[in-house]
Structure formats: C-alpha cells, structure tokens
Structure 1
Amino acid sequence: MSERHAAPALVVGLGCQRGCPVDTLRALLDQVLEAHGFGLDQVRGLASIDLKREEPGLLQLAEQLALPLTCFSSSQLTPYALQLSHRSEIAYERTGCYGVAESAALALAERLAQSPAKLLIRRQKYAQATLAMACCG
C-alpha cells in the first residue's frame, strides 16, 4: 500500500491553438496528472498568455474545474526564457515569448509562492495544446 507524501500545490500553464476545445485541454490535463501521480485537488490555478484571455476552451476549463485562470503579458513571460525546456521561434513570432505553457506555469507559481518557482512537469504537447506544471508550495 503506497502512501502519498505531502502533496505539492501545483499550477498548470496552458498554451493552445485558437478554437481548441475544452475536451482536448481536459484530456491533456487528466493524462498528465495521472501519468505523474498527482490529483486534480492539488491544482491551485491555471495560467496562460493574455492573448488567450478570451479563449473559450480555457475559460470553460477554468469554469469546469472551479479554478482561476491567470493570464500574463508576453513581457511578464519573457524573463522565463532561460528556464524553458523548449524555446519555440514560432511561439515567439506569434506571442512574443518562447513558450507559453512553461512560462505561464512559472509566472503563476512565483506569484502564488512569492519565491522562485521550478517546473515540475516540462512542456507536454497534445493535439492543439501544450501544458506544463510548476510547484507553488
């Protein structure tokens, strides 16, 4: 019988193509949580870039999970470029930052923890979306 250690509080950074359905985002989240042995109850918030502030799939996911969605500007995400596992020129051309999911997860984790954050799960790609997780306490 395995016991869970003190469960870390997590934040989820998400990037997605325009029109990405909520089902795709939820499937990616569930898949990553299960693969790493985390529970949905450990997730404290969702984060993305401000360009996605009105993205229906992200808003629906936040509503479905009853979690806040925090959106950051590209200038707020840029400082995390050196911590990214993957730096995408395409993402930079489209958004002004090299990686939305990882940068957003780090930015929200730092805001919540009031200290430097570390990626727990690097960028995972699935269909039309990317996801990364950081620990915030």
Structure 2
Amino acid sequence: MKVGPILVVGLGCQRGCPASSLRALLDQTLQAHGIELDEVRALASIELKRNEPGLLALAEQLALPLICFTAEQLSGYQGQLSHRSRIAFERTDCHGVAESAALALANQLGDSPATLLITRQKALQATLALAAAS
C-alpha cells in the first residue's frame, strides 16, 4: 500500500506527439524535482486526447491509468492555472490542459483539495504538470 500524497501527471500534446517525447518530458521533470516515477499514480488529459496514440502508449509503458476529462470539467480549474494558453483554448476550449487535468484527477482521487506541485512544463510537442492530493 502506497502512503504519502497522491501524485498525478497531467499531459497535453500536439496530435501525433510520440510516446518517447512524452516520456522524455516526464523523466526530465520528475528527475529535476526529485520525484520517483513509481510515486505517480495516474496520468490525466483532456477528452479530445482520449485516443491519442502517444498518450495511450505512454500509459501502457508505465502501466498507469489514463483518465480524460471534458473541457467543461477542466474549465473549473482555470483560476488555479499558472499559465493560460490562448492557443490551447482555441484548440480545446480549455486554457491549460496539463495543469487542469492534473488538478481534476488529483481532486478525484484524493480527500484533500489538489495543489499543483509542478506547474506547466513545456516541450516541443507536449506540456506536463504534476498535482498532489492526500
């Protein structure tokens, strides 16, 4: 039984972003913050990315669930975002997929309100954020 905070990774990506790019961003981010991969409980994204091959492949590689939320569900987290992306909003109706999805899933899994431990990290084709709840 794992103890400690519930950590979830929120991911946003461009269409066709390979799992290797997502994994590199994840590994670099976790390493930079001293977090072990086995501390992460789940991955989260937006419903539009439910069938994105790179996200599905990453979830399978890591043996983690990928939970997706609608733009409407994610819009409730707008006030907690460190960055509001006009481009993301134009494409998804959500101002920040990675941060919003991480917060939404951490809130769903935890008993306490979720907080962003790692704000939006950006790579060429992807964004990542990490949220925690207890």
Alpha-carbon offset, residue 115 of structure 1: 3.1
Q: Aligned equivalents of 1:83 and 1:113: distance in 2? A: 17
| Structure 1 moving runs of 4+ over 2 Å | 6-9
**What is the Cα deviation at residue 125 of structure 1?**
0.1
Paired position in structure 2 for 1:26: 23
Deviation at 1:116, TM superposition (A): 1.5
Q: 2:101 aligns with which of 101, 104, 109?
A: 104
Equivalence for 1:59: 56
Question: Percent identity over the alignment?
Answer: 70
Q: What is the rounded CA distance, in whole Å, between the counterparts of 2:94 and 2:112 in structure 1? A: 22
Q: How far did residue 127 of structure 1 move?
A: 1.5
Question: Offset at 1:7?
Answer: 4.9
SS in 2 for 1:132: strand
Larger radius of gyration: 1
Other-structure match for 1:3 = none
Verify: 1:85 aligned to 2:56, yes or no: no
Q: Return the offset for 1:9.
A: 2.8
Instruction: Decide which of 123, 126, 129 is 1:126's aligned counterpart.
Output: 123
Unaligned runs of 5+ in 1: 1-5
SS in 2 for 1:75: helix
For residue 95 of structure 2, what is the amino acid of its counterpart? Y
- Scaled by the length of structure 2, what TM-score is found? 0.95
Query: What amino acid is the match of 1:15?
Result: G
Q: 41, 60, 63: which one pairs with 1:44?
A: 41
The unaligned stretches of length 5 or more in structure 2 are none
C-alpha deviation, 1:71, in angstroms: 0.2
Provide the rounded CA distance (Å) in 2 between the counterparts of 1:131 and 1:21.
Answer: 14
* Contact 2:6 2:110 (8 Å CA) reproduced: no
CA RMSD across the alignment: 1.1
